Structure 1
Protein backbone atom coordinates (compact mmCIF):
# COMPACT_ATOMS: atom_id res chain seq x y z
CA UNK A 1 0.00 0.00 0.00
CA UNK A 2 2.72 2.48 0.90
CA UNK A 3 4.40 1.75 -2.47
CA UNK A 4 1.33 3.17 -4.17
CA UNK A 5 1.49 6.32 -2.04
CA UNK A 6 5.17 6.79 -2.85
CA UNK A 7 4.45 6.29 -6.57
CA UNK A 8 1.66 8.88 -6.48
CA UNK A 9 3.90 11.35 -4.63
CA UNK A 10 6.73 10.85 -7.13
CA UNK A 11 4.34 11.35 -10.06
CA UNK A 12 3.00 14.53 -8.46
CA UNK A 13 6.53 15.92 -8.04
CA UNK A 14 7.43 15.02 -11.63
CA UNK A 15 4.25 16.73 -12.88
CA UNK A 16 5.01 19.92 -10.94
CA UNK A 17 8.62 20.03 -12.15
CA UNK A 18 7.57 19.33 -15.76
CA UNK A 19 4.92 22.08 -15.63
CA UNK A 20 7.52 24.59 -14.48
CA UNK A 21 10.01 23.58 -17.16
CA UNK A 22 7.72 22.80 -20.10
CA UNK A 23 4.79 24.55 -21.74
CA UNK A 24 2.66 23.75 -24.79
CA UNK A 25 1.81 26.58 -27.17
CA UNK A 26 -0.19 26.66 -30.38
CA UNK A 27 1.09 28.41 -33.49
CA UNK A 28 -1.44 30.86 -34.95
CA UNK A 29 0.46 32.76 -37.66
CA UNK A 30 2.30 31.88 -40.85
CA UNK A 31 5.64 33.53 -40.07
CA UNK A 32 7.33 30.18 -39.37
CA UNK A 33 5.79 28.22 -42.28
CA UNK A 34 6.64 25.71 -43.56
CA UNK A 35 8.48 24.67 -40.35
CA UNK A 36 5.46 25.39 -38.13
CA UNK A 37 1.98 26.13 -39.44
CA UNK A 38 -1.15 27.63 -37.86
CA UNK A 39 -2.69 25.04 -35.54
CA UNK A 40 0.57 23.24 -34.81
CA UNK A 41 1.18 22.65 -31.12
CA UNK A 42 4.80 22.83 -29.97
CA UNK A 43 6.49 21.82 -26.73
CA UNK A 44 8.63 24.63 -25.30
CA UNK A 45 11.37 24.15 -22.69
CA UNK A 46 11.61 27.20 -20.45
CA UNK A 47 15.19 28.44 -20.54
CA UNK A 48 17.23 31.59 -20.81
CA UNK A 49 20.05 29.91 -22.73
CA UNK A 50 19.56 29.79 -26.49
CA UNK A 51 21.75 28.88 -29.44
CA UNK A 52 21.85 30.17 -32.99
CA UNK A 53 19.40 28.22 -35.15
CA UNK A 54 17.00 27.34 -32.35
CA UNK A 55 13.35 28.33 -32.55
CA UNK A 56 12.20 30.37 -29.54
CA UNK A 57 8.88 31.53 -28.13
CA UNK A 58 9.00 35.02 -26.67
CA UNK A 59 6.83 37.78 -25.27
CA UNK A 60 5.92 40.01 -28.20
CA UNK A 61 4.09 42.84 -26.45
CA UNK A 62 6.00 45.86 -25.17
CA UNK A 63 5.56 49.64 -25.16
CA UNK A 64 7.70 50.18 -28.26
CA UNK A 65 9.41 47.99 -30.82
CA UNK A 66 8.28 44.39 -30.57
CA UNK A 67 4.53 44.27 -30.52
CA UNK A 68 3.82 47.71 -31.94
CA UNK A 69 1.25 48.04 -34.70
CA UNK A 70 -1.83 45.82 -34.93
CA UNK A 71 -2.70 43.80 -31.83
CA UNK A 72 -0.77 40.56 -31.63
CA UNK A 73 -0.87 37.51 -29.38
CA UNK A 74 1.24 37.93 -26.27
CA UNK A 75 3.71 35.30 -27.57
CA UNK A 76 5.57 34.99 -30.86
CA UNK A 77 7.71 32.26 -32.39
CA UNK A 78 10.87 32.87 -34.47
CA UNK A 79 14.30 31.39 -35.22
CA UNK A 80 17.41 32.83 -33.56
CA UNK A 81 19.86 33.90 -36.28
CA UNK A 82 22.39 35.92 -34.26
CA UNK A 83 23.52 36.00 -30.62
CA UNK A 84 25.35 38.66 -28.59
CA UNK A 85 28.78 39.20 -30.12
CA UNK A 86 27.75 37.95 -33.58
CA UNK A 87 27.90 40.34 -36.53
CA UNK A 88 24.56 42.08 -37.14
CA UNK A 89 23.01 40.54 -40.28
CA UNK A 90 22.82 43.01 -43.16
CA UNK A 91 19.03 42.64 -43.48
CA UNK A 92 18.60 43.60 -39.80
CA UNK A 93 21.11 46.47 -39.60
CA UNK A 94 18.70 49.26 -40.55
CA UNK A 95 15.94 48.18 -38.13
CA UNK A 96 18.53 47.74 -35.36
CA UNK A 97 20.15 51.11 -36.13
CA UNK A 98 23.46 49.26 -36.42
CA UNK A 99 26.52 50.61 -38.21
CA UNK A 100 28.48 48.47 -40.69
CA UNK A 101 30.54 45.88 -38.83
CA UNK A 102 28.47 46.21 -35.64
CA UNK A 103 27.94 43.25 -33.34
CA UNK A 104 24.75 42.16 -31.60
CA UNK A 105 24.89 43.72 -28.12
CA UNK A 106 24.74 41.81 -24.83
CA UNK A 107 21.18 41.03 -23.78
CA UNK A 108 19.89 41.05 -27.36
CA UNK A 109 19.05 38.48 -30.02
CA UNK A 110 18.28 38.60 -33.71
CA UNK A 111 15.21 36.51 -34.57
CA UNK A 112 13.70 35.87 -38.00
CA UNK A 113 10.67 33.93 -39.19
CA UNK A 114 11.18 31.01 -41.59
CA UNK A 115 8.27 32.12 -43.77
CA UNK A 116 8.12 34.78 -46.46
CA UNK A 117 5.83 36.99 -44.36
CA UNK A 118 7.26 37.72 -40.93
CA UNK A 119 7.46 40.75 -38.65
CA UNK A 120 10.77 40.04 -36.95
CA UNK A 121 14.19 41.60 -36.30
CA UNK A 122 14.21 42.88 -39.89
CA UNK A 123 11.29 45.13 -38.82
CA UNK A 124 11.76 45.67 -35.07
CA UNK A 125 15.52 45.28 -34.59
CA UNK A 126 16.96 43.39 -31.65
CA UNK A 127 14.81 41.20 -29.43
CA UNK A 128 15.61 41.69 -25.73
CA UNK A 129 16.83 38.28 -24.56
CA UNK A 130 14.84 38.58 -21.34
CA UNK A 131 11.62 38.31 -23.41
CA UNK A 132 12.35 34.65 -24.29
CA UNK A 133 9.98 32.13 -22.71
CA UNK A 134 11.90 29.14 -24.00
CA UNK A 135 13.15 26.99 -26.84
CA UNK A 136 10.91 24.82 -29.01
CA UNK A 137 11.73 21.20 -28.30
CA UNK A 138 9.41 19.60 -30.84
CA UNK A 139 6.09 19.76 -32.64
CA UNK A 140 3.46 17.80 -30.76
CA UNK A 141 0.58 17.89 -33.22
CA UNK A 142 -1.80 20.08 -35.11
CA UNK A 143 -4.70 20.89 -32.86
CA UNK A 144 -6.84 23.53 -31.19
CA UNK A 145 -5.38 23.56 -27.66
CA UNK A 146 -2.45 25.47 -26.16
CA UNK A 147 -1.65 29.17 -25.92
CA UNK A 148 -1.60 30.85 -29.37
CA UNK A 149 1.64 32.31 -30.72
CA UNK A 150 2.15 34.33 -33.91
Structure 2
Protein backbone atom coordinates (compact mmCIF):
# COMPACT_ATOMS: atom_id res chain seq x y z
CA UNK A 1 0.00 0.00 0.00
CA UNK A 2 1.14 3.44 -0.72
CA UNK A 3 1.27 6.16 1.87
CA UNK A 4 -1.58 7.99 0.13
CA UNK A 5 -3.92 5.00 0.49
CA UNK A 6 -3.02 4.60 4.17
CA UNK A 7 -3.68 8.29 4.81
CA UNK A 8 -7.03 8.14 2.97
CA UNK A 9 -8.12 5.11 4.98
CA UNK A 10 -7.10 6.82 8.23
CA UNK A 11 -9.03 9.97 7.29
CA UNK A 12 -12.12 7.90 6.40
CA UNK A 13 -11.97 6.03 9.71
CA UNK A 14 -11.58 9.27 11.67
CA UNK A 15 -14.46 10.89 9.77
CA UNK A 16 -16.72 7.91 10.48
CA UNK A 17 -15.78 8.00 14.17
CA UNK A 18 -16.52 11.74 14.32
CA UNK A 19 -19.95 11.28 12.73
CA UNK A 20 -20.82 8.47 15.14
CA UNK A 21 -19.68 10.56 18.11
CA UNK A 22 -21.75 13.57 17.00
CA UNK A 23 -24.84 11.38 16.60
CA UNK A 24 -24.53 10.44 20.26
CA UNK A 25 -24.41 14.11 21.25
CA UNK A 26 -26.60 15.86 18.66
CA UNK A 27 -29.89 15.11 16.94
CA UNK A 28 -31.91 16.95 14.27
CA UNK A 29 -35.68 16.98 14.85
CA UNK A 30 -38.39 18.35 12.57
CA UNK A 31 -41.11 20.30 14.40
CA UNK A 32 -44.56 18.82 13.83
CA UNK A 33 -47.53 20.92 14.90
CA UNK A 34 -48.23 24.48 15.95
CA UNK A 35 -47.87 24.19 19.74
CA UNK A 36 -44.60 26.16 19.78
CA UNK A 37 -45.65 29.00 17.45
CA UNK A 38 -44.49 31.69 16.99
CA UNK A 39 -41.08 30.48 18.24
CA UNK A 40 -41.05 27.32 16.12
CA UNK A 41 -43.29 26.55 13.16
CA UNK A 42 -44.31 23.23 11.59
CA UNK A 43 -41.48 21.98 9.39
CA UNK A 44 -38.75 23.87 11.26
CA UNK A 45 -35.72 21.68 11.88
CA UNK A 46 -33.98 22.08 15.23
CA UNK A 47 -30.58 20.93 16.43
CA UNK A 48 -30.94 19.13 19.75
CA UNK A 49 -28.18 18.50 22.29
CA UNK A 50 -28.88 15.14 23.92
CA UNK A 51 -29.21 15.64 27.69
CA UNK A 52 -31.72 15.30 30.49
CA UNK A 53 -30.26 18.29 32.33
CA UNK A 54 -32.86 20.96 31.58
CA UNK A 55 -33.45 24.41 33.03
CA UNK A 56 -36.50 26.61 33.20
CA UNK A 57 -36.87 28.40 29.87
CA UNK A 58 -35.15 25.69 27.81
CA UNK A 59 -37.00 24.28 24.82
CA UNK A 60 -36.97 20.53 25.46
CA UNK A 61 -37.54 17.60 23.12
CA UNK A 62 -39.07 14.47 24.55
CA UNK A 63 -40.33 11.18 23.19
CA UNK A 64 -38.76 8.98 20.56
CA UNK A 65 -38.06 9.00 16.81
CA UNK A 66 -41.25 9.67 14.89
CA UNK A 67 -43.09 10.85 17.99
CA UNK A 68 -41.08 13.75 19.36
CA UNK A 69 -42.73 16.58 21.33
CA UNK A 70 -41.16 20.01 21.58
CA UNK A 71 -42.15 22.13 24.60
CA UNK A 72 -40.78 24.90 26.78
CA UNK A 73 -39.67 23.99 30.32
CA UNK A 74 -41.81 26.07 32.71
CA UNK A 75 -40.61 24.51 35.98
CA UNK A 76 -38.11 21.87 37.12
CA UNK A 77 -37.98 19.82 40.36
CA UNK A 78 -38.10 22.03 43.44
CA UNK A 79 -39.59 25.02 41.62
CA UNK A 80 -43.11 26.36 42.01
CA UNK A 81 -45.63 25.26 39.42
CA UNK A 82 -46.74 28.32 37.40
CA UNK A 83 -50.23 29.65 38.24
CA UNK A 84 -52.99 27.98 36.25
CA UNK A 85 -51.28 24.58 36.06
CA UNK A 86 -52.11 21.83 38.54
CA UNK A 87 -49.14 19.49 38.90
CA UNK A 88 -51.18 16.42 39.77
CA UNK A 89 -54.25 16.31 37.55
CA UNK A 90 -53.59 18.92 34.91
CA UNK A 91 -56.75 20.74 35.97
CA UNK A 92 -56.68 24.53 36.01
CA UNK A 93 -55.84 25.75 39.48
CA UNK A 94 -54.62 28.93 41.13
CA UNK A 95 -53.00 27.03 44.01
CA UNK A 96 -49.23 26.89 43.43
CA UNK A 97 -47.36 23.71 44.31
CA UNK A 98 -43.82 22.46 43.93
CA UNK A 99 -42.56 20.19 41.15
CA UNK A 100 -41.46 16.87 42.70
CA UNK A 101 -38.20 15.07 41.86
CA UNK A 102 -38.25 13.55 38.37
CA UNK A 103 -41.05 15.82 37.16
CA UNK A 104 -41.23 18.74 34.75
CA UNK A 105 -43.82 21.33 33.85
CA UNK A 106 -43.77 21.73 30.06
CA UNK A 107 -45.81 24.32 28.17
CA UNK A 108 -46.24 25.12 24.50
CA UNK A 109 -45.72 28.72 23.42
CA UNK A 110 -49.13 28.57 21.68
CA UNK A 111 -51.50 27.67 24.55
CA UNK A 112 -54.58 27.46 22.33
CA UNK A 113 -53.04 24.56 20.36
CA UNK A 114 -50.76 22.73 22.77
CA UNK A 115 -51.15 19.49 24.69
CA UNK A 116 -48.92 20.19 27.65
CA UNK A 117 -48.86 20.35 31.46
CA UNK A 118 -52.08 22.40 31.45
CA UNK A 119 -53.87 19.24 30.32
CA UNK A 120 -51.53 16.37 31.17
CA UNK A 121 -49.95 17.49 34.43
CA UNK A 122 -46.30 16.63 34.96
CA UNK A 123 -43.99 15.15 32.37
CA UNK A 124 -41.06 12.91 33.36
CA UNK A 125 -37.45 14.06 33.10
CA UNK A 126 -36.68 10.49 32.02
CA UNK A 127 -38.62 11.12 28.76
CA UNK A 128 -36.48 14.13 27.79
CA UNK A 129 -34.21 13.48 24.81
CA UNK A 130 -32.46 16.85 24.88
CA UNK A 131 -32.68 20.61 24.55
CA UNK A 132 -32.93 22.70 21.41
CA UNK A 133 -29.65 24.44 20.63
CA UNK A 134 -30.74 26.25 17.48
CA UNK A 135 -32.97 26.19 14.43
CA UNK A 136 -31.35 24.63 11.35
CA UNK A 137 -32.13 26.21 7.98
Q: Does 1:77 align with 2:81?
A: no
- Whole-angstrom CA distance in 1 between matches of 2:123 and 2:84: 15
Q: Give the structure 2 partner of residue 91 of structure 1.
A: 84
- Whole-angstrom CA distance in 1 between matches of 2:134 and 2:115: 23
Question: What TM-score comes out, normalization by structure 2 length?
Answer: 0.85
Q: Does 1:49 align with 2:49?
A: no
Q: 1:132 aligns with which of 110, 117, 128?
A: 128
Question: If you compute each CA radius of gyration, which structure gives the higher value, 1 or 2?
Answer: 2
Question: What TM-score comes out, normalization by structure 1 length?
Answer: 0.78
User: Where do 4+ consecutive residues of structure 1 move more than 3 Å?
Assistant: 94-101
Q: 1:108 aligns with which of 100, 103, 106?
A: 103
Contiguous gaps of at least 5 residues in structure 2: none
Q: What RMSD, in angstroms, separates the aligned Cα atoms of the two structures?
A: 2.0
The structure, 1 or 2, with the larger RCO (C-alpha pairs under 8 Å, 6+ apart) is: 1
